[in-house]
Amino acid sequence: MYAFDIERPTTIGDAVSALGHEEAQALGGGQTLIPTLKQRLAAPAKLVSLTGISEMKGICTTDDGSLCIGGGTCHADVAAGAGAYPALADLAGHIGDPAVRNRGTIGGSLANNDPSACYPSAVLGSGATIITSNREIAADDFFDGLFTTALEDGEIITEVRFPVPEKASYQKFEQPASRFALVGVFVAKYADGVRVAVTGASEGGVFRWSEAEAALSANFAPEAIEELSVDGSGMISDLHGSGDYRAHLVTVMTRRAVAAAH
């Protein structure tokens, strides 16, 4: 790692001002950033650790029934505390491994927007709202390709607000080495329609599979999408699977998610 200073503010306001310095970078749970720093692939002059900000941690339910998760809430706490949204709790409970889940945070995961991460599919698949230190961003406007989001420099994800669906499921097919999603599909059925978000597969990062959404909105059953397919040409092709394989898995995992939704 290159040398840097580390600050550990206790309020969002202090964190924002600390991030105002040039070459400062936010540090969530660090489960992706620290390995990156070890490889010397990032060179911040200052890291602003968000782990000491208690107002960014925790889970609550709003008056309209949405589930709010503080941006600094770790995956293990979401797995244990998001019982109101079982598919989300289940997703959080299968990110990485137990020790990673005790450190990694929802805000950190979303800000990083790894194309194989799990959370982006839940956020996009739920039509969640990302609340930052200075605004609210709809999920559909947030993800912007690999490792890129609508966040501006110094902007912190303080909360994510999930409308709770009637039923939902996340089905992950793991890459055998990293155990990240080779393909992960989040399906959520709301009163006004079904959302299907796919992670791990596309060269463009997490995306909504609109054909499946239309078919499932009409008939929420695995058979409804049996005839649908995804084009493999825009899919990631690597050691662990071709684009065609990933495209195939998108259909399989979507069917399984529909069958498992509860």
Partner 1 sequence: MPQVNMTVNGKSASGQIEGRTLLVEFLRETLGLTGTHVGCDTSQCGACVVHVDGKAVKACTMFAAEAEGAEVLTIESMAAPDGTLNTIQQAFQDHHGLQCGFCTPGMVMSAAALLKDNPKPTEAEVRDYLEGNICRCTGYHNIVKAILAASGQDVSAIAAE
Partner 2 sequence: MPKDGGIGASTKRREDVRFLTGNGNYTDDINLHGQAYVHFLRSDVAHGLINKVDTEAASAMPGVLRIFTGADFEGVGGIPCGWQVTDRFGEVMQEPAHPVLAQGKVRHVGDPIAAIVAETYAQARDAAEAIEYDIDELPAVVNMKDALKEGAPKVHDDLKSNLCYDWGFVEENKGAVNEAFEKAAHVTTLELVNNRLIANPMEPRVAVGDFNRSTGDHTLYTTSQNPHVIRLLMGAFVLGIPEHKLRVVSPDVGGGFGTKIFHYAEEAFCTFAAKALNRPVKWTSTRSEAFMSDAHGRDHVTKIELALDKDNNFTALRTDTHANMGAYLSTFAPSVPTWLHGTLMAGNYKTPLIYVNVKAVFTNTVPVDAYRGAGRPEATFQLERVIDKAARELGVDPIALRRQNFITEFPYATPVAVEYDTGDYHATMDKLQEIGDLSGFEARRKASEAKGKLRGLGINCYIEACGIAPSNLVGQLGARAGLYESATVRVNATGGLVVMTGSHSHGQGHETAFPQVIAEMIGIDASMVEIIHGDTNNGPMGMGTYGSRSLAVGGSAMVRATEKIINKAKKIAAHLMEASEADIELKDGAFSVAGTDKSVAWGDVTLAAYVPHNYPLEDIEPGLEETAFYDPSNFTYPSGAYACEVEVDPETGRVTIERFSAADDFGNIVNPMIVSGQVHGGIGQGIGQALLEACAYDENGQLQTGSYMDYAMPRADDVPFYTVDHSCQTPCTHNPLGVKGCGEAGAIGSPPAVVNAVIDALQSGGKNVTHIDMPLSPSRVWAAMQG
Which of 173, 186, 207, 209 lies at the binding interface for partner 2 (CB under 8 A)?
173
Does 41 engage in binding with partner 2 (CB under 8 A)? Answer: no
Q: Which stretch binds partner 1 (CB under 8 A): 1-9, 16-24, 193-201, 229-237?
A: 1-9
Q: Which stretch binds partner 1 (CB under 8 A): 31-39, 156-164, 182-190, 225-233?
A: 31-39
Question: Strand 157-162 to strand 136-138: parallel, antiparallel, or no bridges (unpaired)?
Answer: unpaired
Q: Which option in partner 2, partner 1, none does residue 49 bind, with CB closer than 5 to 8 A by kind?
A: partner 1
Backbone angles phi, psi at 168, to 5 degrees: -165, 165
Does 25 engage in binding with partner 1 (CB under 8 A)? Answer: no
Residue 100 CB burial class (10 angstroms; 0-12, 13-18, ≥19) = middle
Does 31 engage in binding with partner 1 (CB under 8 A)? Answer: yes
Token reading at 127? 């039509």
Residue 40 neighbours by CB distance under 10 Å: 9
Q: Which option in partner 1, partner 2, none does residue 240 bind, with CB closer than 5 to 8 A by kind?
A: partner 2
Helices (H) and strands (E) in the chain, counts: 10, 12
**Strands, E assignment, 19-104:** 24-27, 46-49, 59-61, 67-70
Q: Which option in partner 1, partner 2, none does residue 176 bind, with CB closer than 5 to 8 A by kind?
A: partner 2
Mark residues 155-194: x for contact with partner 1 by CB under 8 A, - for none.
-----------------------xx---------------
Token reading at 25? 């970078």
Which of 43, 97, 210, 262 lies at the binding interface for partner 1 (CB under 8 A)?
97
